[in-house]
Structure 1
Amino acid sequence: MAPSATGDSAPMHIPAMSKASTINASVLHGPRDLRLEQRHIQEPGIGELQVAIKTTGICGSDVSYYKKFANGDLCACQPLSLGHESSGTVVAIGPHVTGFNVGDRVALEVGIPCGQCGICRQGRYNLCKKMRFRSSAKSFPHFQGTLQDRINHPATWCHKLPENISFDAAALLEPLSVALHAVNRATPTPGSSALVLGAGAVGLLTAAMARQSGCSTVTIADVDQGRVNFAIAKGFATHGYVVPKQLHTSSSCSSLYNSSNSGTSTPCEGVMTPASTISFQSSLDTAKTLAAEMLAEANDSSPLIDDEGDGVDITFECTGKEVCMHTALYATKAGGKVIMVGMGTPIQTLPMSVAHLREIDILGIFRYANTYATGIKLLCARNRPTRGGYVLPNLDEMVTHRFKGLDNAKGAFELASRTVDDDGNLVLKVVIEAE
């Protein structure tokens, strides 16, 4: 199922007789070494569509590659086009493709599994060992991202859009899918209480999906006042908690930073103390304090804690940091669930007895599976309240900054790594739009 377009892998020689055209691509060659280059793209192959990219959102993993040429343990070893939160328009159709027409508006699901292995046949294709994911260095040659004029992509993984969904909102279907998958794993019952740690794009959308699924109380916590205020004002969460300055500027409480999409996270620079200087017990004490304060904050106006004061039914940990996992465990009541959404610190020391003795389920998620159709339905019905009366926020309002054209990609990446712009305005989701 792998795309055949040369624009979807490392630049390569195109035989003179093959039908190819030239496109522009934003290509990362090293840390902050972003170049606008020309690449060749062939006509779409069997089962493929050629899509003109209209909007690409910048994810925390993209920012990590931009700054370090690596994302966690994944180090890029050849030039890489970034971008995987994307939507566009069909401009050409390959052989054996049905159900699409030139001009169709589509959202791109950019992870391509093998479709043949046991895990794919079970429907959990996000766990496929042969998965190729755009803008990730995991596979080699790297599967090139969507910051290109056009790409060839399997029609199976292109989702048609109704006219009432904007290209910007369609690009946000990717982080929305992470949130949907997290809530699907949590299986909350109506009236449940939830806590979301991290108020980046994924954290906000996870809070919204928790509310949409029937959670009556959803508290979101972050170090950034602006993002917490946004979450409450726009209806993503019912309650907010800002980590006090004296906490998040000392010890590992600074880890309560903003969650990114696709299961990755981007730290707030300048507030981190090396973990080696902090004792494990100090971290646990901090987490206990944070958990108690978060619960108390919301409990002033809503029964967030149960009769025994044990905590919330579900905690969604959207930062991937150790102290946040500690906080999640202490904030979750006996018999509850902690959902690991963010991917950050790869090796963590956790107070497992807290989960063990209280039978707290710890569930991990990795990206998403079978979510795009649901996400599109939710966006189409955005103005219709759920049975509980909840109305999904307007995802277009999450886009705080727009950059026109691939030649402005560098400025977009620089801004995406910040929480406020030069004018002091909130930076939440930065997108690059076609000119």
Structure 2
Amino acid sequence: MTVENPETTLAVVAHAKDDLRVEQIPLPKAQQNETLVRIAYGGICGSDLHYWLAGAAGESVLRAPMVLGHEVVGTVARAAADGSGPREGARVAVHPGTPGTAPGRYPPERPNLAPGSTYLGSAAHVPHTEGAFSEFAVLPSRMLRELPAGLSLRDAALTEPASVAWHAVARAGDLSGKRVLVIGAGPIGSLVVAVAHRAGASEIVAVDLHDKPLEIARAVGATSTIDARDADAIAAVEADAVFETSGNHNGFASAVRGAARGGRVVMVGLLPSGPQPALVSTAITRELDLLGSFRFDAEIDDVIAALADGSLVVDPIATHEFAASDALEAFAVARDASQSGKVLLRFD
């Protein structure tokens, strides 16, 4: 049954540092190429936590209240008027990125690097790009990916972060039979473990400060784990490919130390802006390839297919689920890496 475009919707809104609210907000009318989506689940990302705890995510500073959320799945409540996008009733995942058109050079086959790009729930630009932690969201039809029959919305809830991990693993090249080291076993780190396991890595070593994320990493494919404070054990791994997902300079140092000579270090975790201490001399003398990894593009389609056929196992990573009305409690749980993996908000 077609749903008329509501005038308001319940949403999770960051107003400023330490000011997170669940409130009714105006919902814009869908344009010809936009789809009204009833959101089912939203995963709390590290950037969402940063907007709540610091009023900023890196250099993206809140200058006005903003709806959070870019890891969402839902059902088409009203299809786009121009016929683009999925049909009414279709279950969909959302690709939250829009390639930019600002001046600047980048490889055209890598639109995730386009200057001026926007992302749902981001304060990188003014006005901010509203997110989709809301009961209803009006979204460009091109963002929507219809889910195959048999793949539930709950099982597809990690599509977006899994796409980030899939892109990172692709940056490392062929992992078949390789030894892999993952620094940081939070949701993204554990998803990297899961994708690397699917990619045929023979050994996957996960590193973290807490027992809970290491337990999750083992459940999705890690063959062994190391306490992040054990620098000697990390250095002894000598991995062919290392993924740094913690987003701090200590994790990056561990990644460099844990790489084999001639190995690759994929930098996934976003370090704070500005200069950072780094073991550059070690990277040089070991001839390490240091590779950045930022968001994703078409990988989302491969992720959906892998979730649907069961070859990508991510279920253990989603550890908690809260009603959207309990978002404050959900965010508090999500900030505690010692007790949670991915925390989901339920909107329907």
Q: TM-score, normalised by structure 2?
A: 0.92
- Which amino acid in structure 2 is aligned with residue 34 of structure 1? L
Residues 115, 125 of structure 1: 8 Å contact kept: no
| Equivalent residue number for residue 321 of structure 1 | 248
Query: 2:93 — aligned with what?
Result: 107
Identify the residue that residue 349 of structure 1 maps to in structure 2: 277
How far has the Cα of 1:99 moved from its partner? 5.2
Deviation at 1:95? 2.7
Using the TM superposition, name which of 343-352 and 207-216 deviates more: 343-352
Among 291, 297, 300, which residue is 1:372 paired with?
300
Once the 2 structures are TM-superposed, how far is the Cα of residue 355 of structure 1 from its aligned partner? 1.5
Select the residue among 402, 427, 430 that pairs with 2:340. Answer: 427
5 Å matches for 1:173-322? 173-232=159-218, 234-243=219-228, 247=229, 290=231, 292-294=232-234, 296=236, 311-322=238-249
What amino acid does structure 2 have at the position aligned with 1:427? S
Counterpart for residue 39 of structure 1: 25
Comparing 76-85 with 122-131, greater Cα deviation is found at 122-131
**Residues 36 and 328 of structure 1: is their aligned pair in 2 closer, same or farther, counting only changes over 3 Å?**
closer
Deviation at 1:352, TM superposition (A): 1.4
Q: CA deviation at 1:121?
A: 7.4
1:81·1:147 contact (CA, 8 Å) conserved in 2?
yes
Question: Which structure 2 segments of 5+ residues have no match?
Answer: none
Q: Residue 54 of structure 2 is aligned with which of 46, 68, 89? A: 68
- 1:23 aligns to 2:2 (yes or no): no
Shift of 1:237: 1.0
User: Residues of 1 paired with 2:172 and 2:106: CA distance?
Assistant: 21
Q: In the TM superposition, what is the alpha-carbon distance from 1:114 to its structure 2 partner? A: 3.6
Q: Is the 8 A contact 1:56 1:87 kept in 2?
A: yes
Q: Secondary structure of 2:74's partner? A: strand
Answer with 194-203 or 346-355: which moved more: 346-355
Structure 1 residue 117 displacement after superposition: 7.3
Structure 1, gaps ≥5 residues long: 1-18, 248-288, 297-304, 306-310, 385-391, 421-425
C-alpha distance in 1 between matches for 2:334 and 2:131: 17
* Residue 13 (structure 1) aligns with: none
| 8 Å CA contact 1:43, 1:92 repeated in 2 | no
Q: Which runs of 4+ in 1 moved over 4 A?
A: 115-121
Q: Which structure has the bigger radius of gyration?
A: 1
Shift of residue 163, structure 1, vs aligned partner: 3.4
Structure 1 residue 51 displacement after superposition: 0.6
Structure-2 change in CA distance of 1:120 and 1:108 (3 Å): farther
How far did 1:41 drift?
A: 2.4
Matched, 1:82 2:9: no
Deviation sequence 1:190-213 (CA, Å, 0-9, x none) = 211110000001000101111211
**Cα contact 2:85–2:141 (8 A) shared by 1:** no
How far residue 397 of structure 1 moved from its aligned partner, in angstroms, is 2.9
Alpha-carbon contact 1:399-1:431 (below 8 Å) kept: yes
Please give the alpha-carbon distance, in whole angstroms, between the structure 2 residues aligned to 1:337 and 1:102: 45
Contact 1:55 1:432 in 2 (8 A): yes
Equivalent pairs: percent with the same residue?
33
The residue type equivalent to 1:399 in the other structure is: A
- Separation in structure 2 between the aligned mates of residue 174 and residue 189 of structure 1, nearest angstrom: 22
Shift of residue 37 of structure 1? 2.8
Letter in 2 for 1:417: R
State how far apart, in whole Å, the 1-side matches of 2:83 and 2:170 are.
31
C-alpha deviations, 1:7-36, integer Å up to 9, x for none? xxxxxxxxxxxx862222222212222223
CA drift of 1:116 comes to 9.0
How far off is 1:327 after superposition? 1.6
**What corresponds to 2:333 in structure 1?**
415
Quote the Cα distance in structure 2 between the aligned partners of 1:28 and 1:408: 14
Deviations 1:40-77 (A, max 9, x none): 32432122111111100101110111111111222100
Counterpart-to-counterpart distance in 2, 1:377 and 1:351: 39
Answering whether residue 109 of structure 2 is matched by residue 123 of structure 1, we say yes
What is the CA–CA distance in structure 2 between the aligned matches of 1:116 and 1:30, rounded to whole Å?
28
Distance 1:414 1:376, change over 3 A: same
Q: Secondary structure of 2:24's partner? A: strand
Question: How many angstroms does 1:118 deviate by?
Answer: 7.7
Render the CA deviation track for 1:315-347: whole Å, top value 9, x for unaligned: 101112112211211211111100000012332
What is the aligned partner in structure 2 of residue 398 from structure 1?
317
> Deviations along 1:74-124, whole A, 9 cap, x unmatched?
210000111111000001122323452110000011111147978687221
Aligned to 2:27, the other structure's residue is in SS state: strand
Structure 1 residues 97, 115: closer, same or farther in 2, change over 3 A? farther
Where 1:230 maps in the other structure, the secondary structure is helix
Q: Which amino acid is 2:315 matched to?
A: D
Separation in 2 of the partners of 1:224 and 1:39? Answer: 38
Residue type at the aligned position of 2:286: R
Q: Which residue of 2 aligns with 1:263?
A: none
**Rounded Cα–Cα distance in structure 1 between residues aligned with 2:85 and 2:57:** 37
Gap change, CA 1:357 and 1:414, over 3 Å in 2 = same
Listed one character per residue, the Cα deviations across residues 301-320 of structure 1 (whole Å, up to 9, x for unaligned) are xxxx6xxxxx1111101112
Q: 1:321 to 1:132 in 2, by over 3 A?
A: same
Query: Which structure features the higher share of strand residues?
Result: 2
- Rounded Cα–Cα distance in structure 1 between residues aligned with 2:285 and 2:106: 35
Q: How many equivalent residue pairs? A: 343
